[in-house]
């Protein structure tokens, strides 16, 4: 089976992608050295002192922590654990 052109030259690194980790570390270091940390922290503190924004951020955090919806025809991770 031929390899689709859009994937040529790309390696599947599986879980723990080293290239993604390098890119993240490089971007994080660049941000830390950019001088933008203090203003971002100040803005985050201001947002948390606003009851409306704090409530919105808390709701967004809760949504982000929810388990992913199972694909149709599959069990959710929680129900799969219960059946073991």
CA max distance for the chain: 57
Q: What is the pLDDT of residue 16?
A: 78
Q: What is the pLDDT of residue 59?
A: 96
Q: For residue 68, what is the DSSP state?
A: P
Q: What is the pLDDT of residue 9?
A: 67
Q: What is the pLDDT of residue 27?
A: 97
Contact (CB, 8 A) for 62 and 52: no
Q: What is the pLDDT of residue 28?
A: 96
- Domain ranges for the chain: 38-65
Q: To the nearest 10°, report the CA torsion of 52, 58, 63, 64.
A: 130
Cα 17–chain centre separation: 14
Predicted TM-score (pTM) of this structure: 0.48
Instruction: Report the alpha-carbon distance of residue 73 to residue 69 in Å, rounded.
Output: 11
Q: What is the pLDDT of residue 51?
A: 94
């Amino acid at each position: 089976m031929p390899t689709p052109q859009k994937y040529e030259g790309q390696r599947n690194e599986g879980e723990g992608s080293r290239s993604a980790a390098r890119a993240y570390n490089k971007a994080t270091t660049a941000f830390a050295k950019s001088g933008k940390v203090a203003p971002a922290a100040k803005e985050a503190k201001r947002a948390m002192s606003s009851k409306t924004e704090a409530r919105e951020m808390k709701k967004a955090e809760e949504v982000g922590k929810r388990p992913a919806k199972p694909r149709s025809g599959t069990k959710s991770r929680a129900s799969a654990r219960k059946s073991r």
